[in-house]
């Protein structure tokens, strides 16, 4: 019982009550009436039963996102909102850097997820993926042929795996989002080339961000560089606007000749997160409803930053503070 009380904060987070305390938006009711449900949770060996009397804790839906769904209107953030984004993106970067230290053969992605969750709570953050449309974990971990939205599990990482860790945290009303792909132990030259090219795709796209650029142009830059190395670009998933909403306008496709709407203006905040594949770009989703994989079973890599459009270019809000901002994999090459 002592351990349960000492770790009550962890239980508080998983129960959904922490969402309400922070005003977290993923608590909007999916239905107009209340339902009664029981949630069973293990907290350090103790079975806790929580009676949920509101479907909001089960739906995992953002009412504000639902309201904005389908709109192409891109919010221009004011100075206060921009500072809120700087703070949350710095916290998200800290969490990813902690997860990066755990990547090695024998570690499970569930262990990484647990560390991510604790790193969030230690920073008074909520892990945005947790219960987002019922996603069951605090981060996404995508191994080898998994393109994105992989669910952390108990499979030990193996030598030669490549692993993407996608972190989003919610703090003081704002979301910060980033991801990186890591090498697990020693990897083959093909993996190095794929990951290096994917990172270059992201950074070349970022170099073009400035007022007046159409969002659709980013896909042309990314696909040109990916195809030069005989890689393909995933089409089913895209970058997105982010601030008080986890996902909102603009949509930012990563492939060429897309029909994205909008022109960059100072105060826009959005992500670029290209997913690049060794083989074909076609994907499929596992029965869990989340895990997106390459249809041909070949590997995929991804990198992501949250960006602020400035008067003259852009600010990488999720930039790494160490090693001159370079991604972690570069020190593994």
Detail the residues annotated as belonging to a binding site for substrate.
149, 247
Extract the annotated binding site. 149, 166, 177, 240, 247, 273, 304
300: how many CB neighbours lie within 10 A of its CB? 29
For residue 133, the Cα-to-chain-centroid distance in whole angstroms is 14
Please state, in angstroms and rounded to a whole number, the distance separating the CA atoms of residues 232 and 298.
11
Please state, in angstroms and rounded to a whole number, the distance separating the CA atoms of residues 89 and 94.
9
Backbone angles phi, psi at 328, to 5 degrees: -60, -35
Extract the annotated binding site for a divalent metal cation. 166, 177, 240, 273, 304
Q: State the DSSP string of 260-281.
A: ---B--TT-EEEE--EEESS-S
Considering only CA atoms, which of 302, 162, 328 is closest in space to residue 239? 302
Tally the residues of the chain: 333
Please state, in angstroms and rounded to a whole number, the distance separating the CA atoms of residues 170 and 76.
19
Please state, in angstroms and rounded to a whole number, the distance separating the CA atoms of residues 319 and 281.
28
149: how many CB neighbours lie within 10 A of its CB? 20
Decide: helix, strand or coil at residue 210.
coil
Considering only CA atoms, which of 162, 167, 191 is closest in space to residue 177? 167
Considering only CA atoms, which of 101, 174, 148, 109 is closest in space to residue 328? 101
């Amino acid at each position: 019982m002592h351990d349960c009380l000492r770790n009550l904060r962890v239980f508080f987070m998983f129960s959904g009550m922490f969402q309400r305390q922070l005003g977290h938006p993923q608590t909007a009711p999916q239905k107009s009436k209340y339902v009664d449900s029981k949630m069973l949770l293990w907290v350090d060996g103790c079975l806790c039963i929580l009676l949920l009397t509101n479907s909001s804790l089960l739906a995992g839906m953002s009412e504000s996102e639902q309201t904005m769904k389908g709109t192409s209107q891109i919010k221009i953030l004011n100075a206060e909102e921009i500072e809120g984004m700087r703070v949350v993106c710095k916290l998200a970067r800290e969490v990813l850097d902690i997860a990066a230290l755990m990547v090695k053969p024998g570690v499970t992605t569930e262990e990484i997820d647990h560390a991510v969750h604790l790193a969030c709570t230690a920073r008074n953050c909520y892990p945005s993926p947790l219960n987002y449309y019922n996603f069951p974990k605090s981060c996404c971990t995508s191994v080898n042929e998994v393109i994105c939205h992989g669910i952390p599990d108990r499979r030990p990482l193996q030598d030669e795996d490549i692993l993407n860790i996608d972190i989003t945290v919610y703090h003081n009303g704002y979301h910060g989002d980033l991801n990186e792909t890591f090498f697990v132990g020693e990897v083959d030259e093909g993996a190095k080339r794929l990951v290096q090219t994917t990172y270059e795709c992201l950074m070349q796209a970022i170099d073009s961000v400035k007022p007046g650029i159409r969002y659709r142009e980013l896909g042309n830059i990314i696909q040109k560089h990916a195809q030069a190395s005989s890689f393909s670009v995933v089409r089913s998933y895209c970058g997105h606007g982010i601030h008080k909403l986890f996902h909102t306008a603009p949509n930012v496709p990563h492939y060429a000749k897309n029909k994205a709407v909008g022109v960059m203006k100072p105060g826009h905040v959005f992500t670029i997160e290209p997913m690049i594949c060794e083989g074909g770009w076609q994907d499929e989703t596992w029965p869990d409803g989340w895990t997106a994989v390459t249809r041909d079973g070949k590997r995929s890599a991804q990198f992501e930053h949250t960006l602020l459009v400035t008067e003259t270019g852009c600010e990488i809000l999720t930039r790494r503070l160490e090693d001159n901002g370079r991604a972690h994999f570069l020190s593994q090459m």
